[in-house]
Amino acid sequence: MAAKKWQGRNNKLYKILIVDDQPEIRNLLAITLDADNYEVHHANDWMSALGMTRAIKPDLILLDIMMPGEFDGLEVCRRIKCDQDLSSTIVLVVSARAQVADRYKALEVGADDYLTKPFSPLALMEKVSLLLSKKEQQRP
């Protein structure tokens, strides 16, 4: 079954923030999601990820774990989920770390789901659609 392209109520496009330090991965994620159907933003480190999350209030974040700098993706996720204004943001971790323990750590800090690199484009689209669908159902 093909993944649906989700728009919010009143045809508002969902905002997606892609956070990865590798520009090729950010571009691949955007292309895979067919960026014309989403308002896509990019961040390449933890600081810009947190700043952009506060500024644009994305509906969903595709977040890498391994990033340069003081904080990794797990800490970014934890900070987002602990912030009352941002806690409803969906976080889908997209990481090369494939161990069960890595997935557990991500879910433990609040990630909504986990996808391992390399990923199937269809699997990414399905996870994004499912997560956005659940968010839409939870809105009052």
What is the homologous superfamily of the domain 13-132 according to CATH?
A: Response regulator (3.40.50.2300)
Give the confidence band of 36 by pLDDT, cuts at 50, 70, 90: low
State how beta strands 39-43 and 60-63 pair: unpaired
Instruction: Say whether pTM exceeds 0.75.
Output: yes
DSSP-derived letter for residue 118 is S
Q: Residue 4: pLDDT above 70?
A: no
| pLDDT value of position 13 | 83
Residue-wise pLDDT for 116-132, tens only, equals 998 889 899 999 999 99
Q: Where are the chain's structural domains?
A: 13-132
Residue-wise pLDDT for 50-100, tens only, equals 999 999 999 999 999 998 888 999 999 999 999 999 999 999 999 998 899
- Report CA 54 to chain centroid distance, whole Å: 14
CB neighbours of 82 closer than 8 A, spacing ≥ 6? 110
